[in-house]
Chain A
Amino acid sequence: MNWVTKMFSSSIGQKFIMALTGLFLCSFLVIHMVGNLQLFKADDGLAFNTYAVFMTTFPVIKFVSYVLYASIIFHAIKGLMLVSKNNKARPVKYAVQNGAANSHWTSRSMGILGTLVLVFIVIHMKNFWFEYKFGHEVGYTSYFTNIATGETGSRAMEAEYKQHNKIEETMVSSPDGQQYKIVVVKDLYKEVATEFKEWWLVALYVLCMFAVAFHLYHGFQSAFQTLGINHSKYNGLIKFIGIWVFSVLIPAGFAAMPIFFFFK
């Protein structure tokens, strides 16, 4: 057996894969959060839609997004395989097992929490990624800015409207001599706003963010331990980031988005 295969098929090696892909997915969450904060901007979605075009067309980002999809699939499959392997290590279960006495419930529920997150990712990709890329629901919106006064406005294009690029920018002069910048862009923002008017979808998203929160409450810290990073000088910081950033701030931020659009 080749040494690379041997390393990654050992129990510790498999955990390295889980830790590395897991931390990469955590780094993605930060980017996703920061980008999506533009949903809260009161500009009818111009900034968010422009950002969506950049994220889906810029070659480097496109490449990283394929690495991301691969990581999600790998992390999920490897995780489920490990759950099944670990179950086989104890074929006869205990009649009484007091897990709460020695460990946190999140650490004992990573398989089920991860499965919930995976189901969420599938629903989420269908709602937005698939619709944006292949669906017919997402239309175009035209945003205009008066260059002199800074006055802005927007108007949805007709349902049949098509253009070659996801975003097209033109400068026009009105009959009274005013200069306008016109941006016609695929309106993912409107899709988000419309979808989140459904109460059950909002509820589902918020519940799934709890699964993300609890998965990362254990997962972020655990990844460092797996990679051998356990040192009294850094453990406090890792624990702090794992709990406050990845299991509170980020899930709360994501949960705020559907709630914001529901009540908007």
Chain B
Amino acid sequence: MENNLNLNLKVWRQKNAKDKGGFEEYKLSEISTDMSFLEMFDVLNERLIVEGKDPVAFDHDCREGICGACSMFINGRPHGPKQAVTTCQLHMRSFKDGETIVVEPWRAEPFPVIKDLVVDRSAFDRIMSAGGFVSINTGNAQDANAIPISKENADEAFAAAACIGCGACVAACKNASAMLFVSAKVSQFALLPQGQPERSARVMEMVAQMDNEGFGACTNTGACSAECPKEISLTHIARMNRDYLMAELTSNK
């Protein structure tokens, strides 16, 4: 096929968390431009298995851009060169024939490498369990319009809730700051009536956990939002800053 690509892959290989790790080069030929980036890795891994070598470990699950599992830092950018896509939705047509592609894991103190391109993102889970929820009794589903919510707020909350927690914001940030993730999770509740009772406690607890995990501070470079596959806006960070300030100044905690 004339559209197929020959590629030179430079992939980070690391046996386990303690291993020092290093780059390994692989030559791939006849890669279809219609393949996704992960399918290209499947091709590589099948070859490695046939050769009796250890396949490259990488996170993946839904492969349709909604689960947030895939996490590759491709040619200096999380999820590669395209805007608003996850690695699984990135296609090989975004690369040139003969190109060298450098693939690294997310790099951050709170995201230790487990193996190869797989990092431990449970720091995000701990931030969520610190306050990223609403405490309400479940039971029968409420009538759909029982609580009035403005369309604007509903849309804004929905845009925040689109965060899939992939960690591209942390990976892109020069400070490895998790502010975009945390602010999206704070905002999705702060904008809705159901989030109000725990609003102050939530932002204080989640920020405290974020700091405990060792993420850096925000310097408003905007790299997170520019690289976010769900295009989460920086306005959520401003909202969290505001909420945090108000919570510290006015709450009883």
Contact = CB atoms under 8 A, between A and B. Distances in A.
Nearest to A235: B235
A11 B211 CA distance: 7
Interface in B236-253: 237-245, 248-249, 253
Interface string A3-44: 100110011111110000000000000000000000000000
A75 interface: no
B77 A101 contact: yes
B239 A15 contact: no
Given A3-B248, A90-B109, A108-B174, A11 B75 contact: no
Contact of B241 (A85, A102, A227): A227
B175 A102 contact: no
Contacts of B172: 102
Given A90-B109, A228-B245, A230-B234, A96 B75 contact: yes
Given A89-B216, A107-B221, A229 B211 contact: no
Interface in B208-238: 208, 210-211, 214-223, 226-227, 234-235, 237-238
Interface in A163-177: none
A11 B217 contact: yes
B27 to A, nearest CB: 19
B104 A107 contact: no
B108 A90 contact: yes
A14 B248 contact: no
Interface in A215-241: 218, 221-222, 225-230
A7 B244 CA distance: 9
A225 B108 contact: no
Nearest to A91: B109
A108 B226 CA distance: 14
A99 interface: yes
A90 B220 contact: no
Contacts of B176: 86, 89-90
Interface string A84-117: 0110111111111111011110011010000000
A11 B253 CA distance: 18
B241 A99 contact: no
Given A88-B109, A99-B76, A107-B220, 7 more contacts: A86-B174, A86-B217, A90-B175, A102-B226, A102-B227, A222-B220, A228-B245
18 contacts: A12-B217, A12-B245, A15-B218, A88-B216, A89-B109, A89-B175, A90-B108, A101-B226, A102-B221, A103-B174, A103-B223, A103-B226, A104-B221, A107-B221, A221-B220, A225-B237, A226-B220, A227-B242
10 closest residue pairs by CB, A with B: A228-B242, A98-B76, A230-B238, A89-B216, A86-B175, A102-B226, A86-B216, A89-B176, A103-B221, A107-B221
